[in-house]
Amino acid sequence: MAFTILERPKKHLQILFKKMSNAIIKVENLGKSYLIGHEREKGYVALRDVVANKAKNFAKGIKDTIGGKQLMGDQVVEEFWALKDVSFEINQGDTLGVIGRNGAGKSTLLKILSRITEPTKGKITLNGRIASLLEVGTGFHPELTGRENIYLNGAILGMSRAEIKRKFDEIVDFSGVERFLDTPVKRYSSGMYVRLAFAVAAHLESEILVVDEVLAVGDAEFQKKCLGKMGEVSKGDGRTVLFVSHNMAAIENLCKKSILLQNGSLVNAGNTSDIISYYVSRQHIENKKLSDIITRKGNKSLFFTDGLIEGIETDEQQAETFKSLRIKLSYKYKQEVPLNSYKIDIGINNHFGDRVGWLSTKTIENDFNLAANDSIEFVIQNLPFGPGDYTCNIYSEINNEVADWLESVLAFTIKEKDYYNTGKLVPANQGNILLKYKIV
């Protein structure tokens, strides 16, 4: 049977059961709002004002309680829409990636689909049971053992005891926590929690599997194992997978289609490679002057103020494969620094966030005097990177202490071109590195 979550009435969530079309998940004009409280500016307050405000808040509290509204007390209330008019469909066996920056509404969407929270408006139609893995330990009781939590979590997901028992050995084997199966899960590490929780969600017989960024907690080997399992359940078992991740490589490897959320709205949907390219290009537009970036680490004994990337042989401000690329970093420093007590690194990442190149003042001989200048230039000759979007992480260190560290800044693009003069373009799926070679 399928259920449909209709626009929420004032007092309760209405659920109807009906037959569906080919879509196993259908989301129509979905919205979720929250009330955000802000403290009022307080000046001189007389006793009569305090008494009047208390009486007003007491009356308002009773009214809000009866109406089922959130109680905000003596605060200015702002309505915030975490999701706004989101609509899409997913067919059985599809794997859908959900992409977006922090705060875009990804986790809110999955919580509504998993029926953890109610929508404010809109309609969701599901044709099947959902197994969800949204947070470490969701659906686990800390005082129960791993063995007991497998049965508890399976029951929460709607499975019968016979179904759980049939899959029990596979779950334990996949999780790798057999040795600690009779230990209370409150003593598990976060990685062990994730192993067991994912094993339960992936092996029990639900038609839809929903996975949030929680896999980032696990080690690299287990992440690879999980991605393989998600691919297996979607292709082999015909189950539907929704996957949220900031790891673009994982999204592209697992999901054929993706949606992009921004500020609670669905801004693009389609083939995953196209959506990732669109998402990355949108991030580049938002580049700021380095001195204006707040999210950085370090003691600021050397502080990056600005950066420039340009192709040396090209007329445009554009990088080009097999040409030279200049990366210039401007900085400020607090005091003169001995020649050998500093390090400046640049890490170059592709649009998946994978490291494809690295530059450092420590890897080649140089006599650059940091204290006598306010900028430093790195010149890459015969740039080996293929077409695509790239960003840089920049890092400075003085006397073995982090001075300044910024991630995913100084974005640049390499355009597609006939680099081998053969009249053909290099296939985009053949990696980020283009090699100069000849056949003899």
Of the chain, the end-to-end C-alpha distance in Å amounts to 65
Contact partners, residue 319, CB within 8 Å, separation at least 6? 309, 310, 311, 325, 383, 385, 390, 412, 413, 414
List the domains of the chain with CATH numbers. Answer: 2-32+81-284 (3.40.50.300), 289-414 (2.70.50.60)
Q: With a cut of 50, which residues of the chain have pLDDT below it?
A: 1-20, 71, 285
pLDDT of residue 341: 77
pLDDT of residue 183: 93
pLDDT of residue 414: 82
DSSP string, 85-104: EEEEEEETT-EEEEE--TTS
Alpha-carbon gap, residue 202 to 209, rounded angstroms: 7
Residue 215 has what DSSP assignment?
G
pTM higher than 0.85 for the full model? no
Could you report the per-residue pLDDT of 122-135, keeping only the tens digit for each?
A: 989 888 888 777 76
Alpha-carbon gap, residue 321 to 324, rounded angstroms: 8
Alpha-carbon gap, residue 9 to 123, rounded angstroms: 12
| Phi (first) and psi of residue 256, to 5 degrees | -75, -35
| Residues 396 and 344: beta-carbon distance below 8 Å | yes
Both structure tokens of 434: 């283009």
Alpha-carbon gap, residue 289 to 304, rounded angstroms: 10
- According to DSSP, the residues that pair with 332 across neighbouring strands are 303
- According to DSSP, the residues that pair with 166 across neighbouring strands are none
pLDDT of residue 395: 93
| Residues 125 and 26: beta-carbon distance below 8 Å | yes
pLDDT of residue 88: 92
| Residues 385 and 356: beta-carbon distance below 8 Å | yes
Three-state secondary structure readout of 389-439: EEEEEEEEEECCEEEEEEEEEEEEEECCCCCCCCCCCCCCCCCCECCCCCC
